[in-house]
Structure 1
């Protein structure tokens, strides 16, 4: 989707109609603090223009988005972090607006 859909909280944040703690902003990208707090650092990095996860990953914006996510990860989580992207309901994607998560600030555990 290229147009702003109804009820997209991320589009509302980009438009300034919903509050957010912004950690990065340029003409194309925004990074905000996630409202979830199950680890000390939870950031969301996304295009300002609404697009699906697949559109975001297939577009040319991913290189810059990845650079911003990694830079913020290094800045806020100097001992290490994860960059995650959820696709679809089974992958626990809760918002249709494409985004990646930067999480860290503590040891995230071993893989099972």
Structure 2
């Protein structure tokens, strides 16, 4: 039995999700977090790890994420991926954050 994955359940229609975009392979949903006016998650519909996403699918996911960022955040946006515990990755299903809608400030450091 597969472990529970909220993103897989949204893709399957078993849980609610605000879908912004989808095609045969990719889905973009609104993040439940509201730290910025635009907080979206772009991912493959098929469950992949973050490493698999970047090794095999980032071209398509990145193209979709960049286009949605351009459309919704004309002043600029960020694409971010978190890897592992220290990188603050909270979901195993690989995804790219699309952040924008306001000045995002400087990087921490």
TM-score (norm 2): 0.95
1:101 matched to 2:90: no
Q: What pairs with 1:36-47 in structure 2 (closer than 5 Å)? A: 36-47=33-44
Question: What is the CA-CA distance between 1:85 and the residue it aligns to?
Answer: 0.2
Aligned CA RMSD, in angstroms, stands at 1.1
Distance of 2:94 and 2:65 partners within structure 1: 14
Distance of 1:34 and 1:24 partners within structure 2: 13
Distance of 1:103 and 1:69 partners within structure 2: 10
Stretches of structure 1 that go unaligned for 5 or more consecutive residues are: none
Number of equivalenced pairs:
108
Provide the residue aligned with 1:33 in structure 2.
Answer: 30
Q: What pairs with 1:73-88 in structure 2 (closer than 5 Å)? A: 73-88=69-84
Distance of 2:104 and 2:2 partners within structure 1: 34
Stretches of structure 2 that go unaligned for 5 or more consecutive residues are: none
Distance of 2:13 and 2:22 partners within structure 1: 12
Provide the residue aligned with 1:63 in structure 2.
Answer: 59
Residue number among 32, 42, 52 corresponding to 2:49 in the alignment: 52
TM-score (norm 1): 0.93
Question: What is the CA-CA distance between 1:56 and the residue it aligns to?
Answer: 0.8
Question: What is the CA-CA distance between 1:17 and the residue it aligns to?
Answer: 0.4
